[in-house]
Structures are given as structure tokens and as C-alpha cells.
Structure 1
């Protein structure tokens, strides 16, 4: 994995601590990580890639940067063999996240039939400073439970309507698979998943996941379409900060589609700062050309 996680275009291998952190994160999320190679003479490689099959019937794909001796035809042969494996059957899509300046990785992805979906911006903010007050007491808050799963699923389906965050993915997966992916974002703590109710009606939700001893990620935040523009997004964020403080987190992070102007403005008002960007590349079934 050191070659596949290498920074930039892969001129240097990833540091051991980076690889260890990635492996720990993959294991915590319940994913199945496998690396595949097509050897050449000696210690050289003609092709290399890895897959991380995740709950929710999706997978992440990792391709190398610049590798002497690696060629597009060998990569296509290897990917066809990998994507044809039983564990890859039934996936809704496979995805890769790369920095846009990683030209070699992007060339591999395009050669393997991936198309660019969008750019994701990664934002972060300290939890306690500047202080974010709790939301006003005009909403009721319900933590996730198995008994309330149908209500969460129904609400989340409504928050996806006319969403500006990766709208191309709306409707591709059953909501139970979407929720399964969110639970795999890190160690699942039901109390960090909360639904907002107005007069007993679910109107929005915020889902937090732990990504380290001092950090929480906003895995998902959604507002039911009729409630957009009502200030509910601010209330959800305030609730998120309140939950993060109770969980003794120091940092709150998130990713947002660069095209989602409304959400970006909201996060900027709350003091989130841009720390990274990656482009999402997608491949949908059929993953293997049978012709």
C-alpha cells in the first residue's frame, strides 16, 4: 500500500505511519482491503491496484502514481480480472479520490473507464474556539436507534431530493445501503447521529463519526427539501458542535461538493477552513467489458 498511498504522483512511498493509519481506518469501517499486482521480470511491476470494498455495496479503488514499467494495457488486464471477482459483483459503483494535480493517477483511472464526478473540498474547524452556541430550543432531537431506523431512512431519502452534493449519485443505491456506508465511516456511535424534529415531524439530520482520538467528521448533514432556507442548516451545525464538545473532540471536519454553493457559504460562516481538495472519479456497472 505504500506505493498506492504515495503522495503526489508517487515519486516517494507513503510513510509507514500513514500506511498504518489508513489500514486502521479501513479495518474500523468494516472494509475489506486487497491489493493486486501483475509482476514483470525481477522485482518490477507491470500493474498494481488495490480495492477497499465497503459496507453499502461500494468500493474505493487505489491506483499508483508514476511507475517505471507499468503500462495501460497491463493495468486494464489487471483491473478486468479484479473487477470480475465475486466480491466485486453487485456493487453499485467503484470510486477513486485523487488530487487533481496527480496526473499519472488520473491517466490510469481514465484508462480503466472511470469518469470524473466532481471536486470535493475538505474543511475543518476547532470545536471550542470560536465558540458556537447550542441551537435554540425550538427543535426536538432524536438519536439513532434500530427502532427508529425506518424514520431515519425515510428522512434521509427526503434530504437527498434536489441535493446539490453529488446529485449524480441520488437514487443509485437503496437508502439502507447509503446508511450502511455512513456507519462504516468510523467507529459507529448511535448517539452522534441525530434527527431534528419540528412539532414531531423529522425535518433534518446530522451524522457524526469519529476519525481519531481528537476528531469527529460530519459524515452527513441533510435538510428536507421543504425546510431549506429556513435556518435549519445552522441549527444542525450548532447541534453538531454541541455533540462534538460532549464527545470531547477538538476538531470537526467535513467534505463538500465544490458545486454546493449554499452549503459552502454556511460552513464558511461557521469558520470552517479549506485544508485539501480531491476529485472523485466513478465507474458504474458493468465494471468489466464482456465483449
Structure 2
């Protein structure tokens, strides 16, 4: 068949890789169950000589080395131990930060959650219906009075999605070559979950092409903000798991080490929250993830 006959893409079926006994052992009623036990309360006393965990941190900027752990929650608020993370409690705070920004998001549904959060959170940010498949996009929201444009689109294949026009699926590296960049341009991407069922060599080749595209973007427009969302925990499937995710996440961090980009470390943010494990984290986690992103866009 000719190449132009390939018009649509959609997810096929998963190949059955387990037998009936294994299925019984892997059911939700068996796995991920709480273990009952008697735990005494934990009392945390203030440090005798404490200058504060964040007193020596710098403002959030590209190229900062990650810490272990990368932060902690207190009353559902994330405190970063990498940089002086900010919080944006009101829509006006987030809107002021994003005033005049041209935001390009590329990735999977875990990054689409950030787009959805900001769309709901900032009432003046309105979706433009592009009449495309929602799961893969592209999605577009604008706030004309603030000069804010925000886009999200799924990364190129491999991609598990519903039926969508293949012409709407752009490889992120190819798309980046068409972005001029500049101080008002923000590029955010994640590349992870849909690669867990593929060879690591496929993932490395993809990251290598993406690194070249970002290097070219920063060469022509060094003031462009480039943010990379790390993998998150909560992938519980025969075809994907935290064990597979962490291997890809380590490769992603290594590939972009030394570049003027920011790794938004959400691995700890999802692994230590009290909400049940979910590849799509709940609202409190998403709010803190977006606040961390905004902290790098508006460090002061």
C-alpha cells in the first residue's frame, strides 16, 4: 500500500502474556492491599539548632542538581529541597506568572493533566475547539488579555490512544525545529510511559534526537525556558510498572545532564503522597507539580 494510505492511528490490543493462575494472583483484590498493624504515633520535635532546610537554597533556575529526597509534603504543600519553590494559591497569581507566555507542551496524559489544571484554575484561560481527538490533541487554550497561549499535544509514536489523524501526531523533535523560541517561550515535555513496552534502545534513540533538537533551540534562542517532567510513580500494570519507569527515568535524566534545562522531579512528589498509587495523580499532587513548574517560569 502507498504511504499516503496511512491516515489514522489508534491503540491496538494488548497481547495476552499471562495465564489464568497468574491473572488470579495479579487481580486488584489481591495486589496493593493495606497490611494491618499497630503503629504508635510519631512525634517530631523541633531541631535544637536549625537554620531551616531551605535557608541555603537558590532561586529555581536551569541546570540545578537534584537532591535526595527532592522535597517533602506538609499539609499537602510541597517544599522543594532543590530550589526556592514558590506557590501560586490564586488564579491571579498563576495568570500574572504566565502573562505573555507562549507555552508548548509535548507528552502523555500525565502532562495533559497540567494543561487541564491550568485551564480550570485560570478562569480567563479559554479552550479553542480544534475538532481533534482529545486524548492526543493538539489542545489549545488562550487568554488574549494576558497574551497567554498554551498548547498541549501528544508526543509522536509509540502512543496508546484512541483513533486519531496521523497528521496530528507530531514527533516532538521535529516540532521543536519549527519553534523560534525566546524569553516568552516555554517548552515542557515528558517522554516515558508509552515507551515501557519497548526496547530501551528505542527510548535512547528517541531521547538523543530530542536532545539535538533542544540543543538547537537553545543555541538560536538561549533565553527559552525548557522544562522536562520526570516519570512519576503509580504505574501498576503487567505492561508497565515503577520498576520499568525508573529505568527510563534514569536514562532521561542522564541524557539531559549538563544542559541548560530543568528536570521537574515529580517522582518523589508522587511516591510519598498519601493518595493511593495512580499513574494519573490526584488533584493535590497535580497542583504542587504545576506550582513547581511555575516556580521555574517565574522564580521571583
Tell me whether the two structures share a fold, i.e. TM-score over 0.5: no
TM-score normalised by L of structure 1: 0.29
